[in-house]
Amino acid sequence: MNRALRIHAYGGPDAVKVDNIAMPAAASGEVVVHVKAAGINGLDWKIRDGWLQNDFPLPLPATLGVELAGEVIEVGAGVSGFVIGDRVMGPVGGIGAYADFIAVASNMLVKTPASLTDERAAAIPVGALTAWQALFEAGELKRGQTVLIHGAAGGVGSFAVQFARRAGARVIATAQGINAGYLRGLGADEVIDYRTSSFWERTRDIDLVLDLVGGSALANSWQVITDAGRIVSTAAPDIAAHTPAGKHGIWFQMRPDAAQLAEIVSLVDQGAVKVEVSEVARLSDAAAAIERNKTGHGPGKAVILFQ
């Protein structure tokens, strides 16, 4: 049996159904993974709600989920570096991770170290790669600069705070006040409670804004960056159309990169980077857990357990 979390039509939480689908087979360059856990991301409910149907049309029904941790049960032709029984983790390069079994291009995956449970491993790939690439590739963050991270307590933000601090940047985070201690523990120099304070009145001369929220957070960020500063947003695909003259705004999307992921996983394995799992949901509660991602959740990343 291959259970999958799918949508047959766009809608709310009730649109997400558990179906039995065909077992996958490994094509050339692929492995079949027995999924043990999969990370929940904002992309799940954005797809479910139909927000992205014009930009990224999908044939329905569609299986949700973009990252996983599990065990290799089949190896396709041309695959090297993986054998049956290997524990692996990574993004899937699209959607489809919310299933018991999925065929994945082997070059997306890395081996899961023994120190990581499947739940913690599933919380890493998309958030960590997004944070790394947004900060250092799109954002060109350098030692001594100041970065403002909106939505800092979430799955991407938690990694971004740590990576920026490790790189020698000053880190200012916006989040709910209840998460201030958590973020300072990750390395934030200052935490601003967006519910009680206006960050644009408390910050200036920001070199990089990492916008994981969009909306008013983005709109009020232009005034706090330096002339050479930039805003990198994962939440506003239309940022270019709203970037003021003379300012630098970038819409960012993560790309799978196994070498980068392996480097990050090594840091986690060494204890140099922390992974926070906010919730472990069973498949029976997965639709509600995806909705909780939309409406607000604890610090770190929620995952779905498939065991």
Segment 85-112, tens digit of pLDDT? 999 999 999 999 999 999 999 999 999 9
Structural tokens at position 129: 């790669």
Instruction: List, by residue range, all CATH 3.90.180.10 domains of the chain.
Output: 3-124+275-305
Segment 37-88, tens digit of pLDDT? 999 998 899 999 988 788 778 899 999 999 999 999 999 999 999 999 999 9
Q: Which of 59, 36, 37 is nearest to 47 (CA)?
A: 59
How far is 35 from 76, CA to CA, in rounded Å? 17
Phi, psi of 109, rounded to the nearest 5 degrees:
-105, 155
What pLDDT, on the 0 to 100 scale, is given for residue 294?
83
How far is 228 from 145, CA to CA, in rounded Å? 12
Q: How many CB atoms lie within 10 A of CB 50?
A: 14
**Strand 206-211 to strand 225-233: parallel, antiparallel, or no bridges (unpaired)?**
parallel
What pLDDT, on the 0 to 100 scale, is given for residue 161?
98
**Which residue intervals of 67-140 are DSSP H helices?**
118-122, 125-133
In degrees, rounded to 5, the angle at the alpha carbon of residue 67 between the alpha carbons of residues 297 and 256 is 120
pTM of the model: 0.96
Q: What CATH topology corresponds to 3-124+275-305?
A: Quinone Oxidoreductase; Chain A, domain 1 (3.90.180)
Structural tokens at position 160: 């971004």
What pLDDT, on the 0 to 100 scale, is given for residue 297?
67
Taking 50 as the pLDDT cut, the residues of the chain under it are: none
Structural tokens at position 41: 């991301």
Instruction: List, by residue range, all CATH 3.40.50.720 domains of the chain.
Output: 127-251
What pLDDT, on the 0 to 100 scale, is given for residue 129?
98
What pLDDT, on the 0 to 100 scale, is given for residue 53?
81
Class of 127-251 in CATH: alpha beta
Structural tokens at position 7: 């949508």
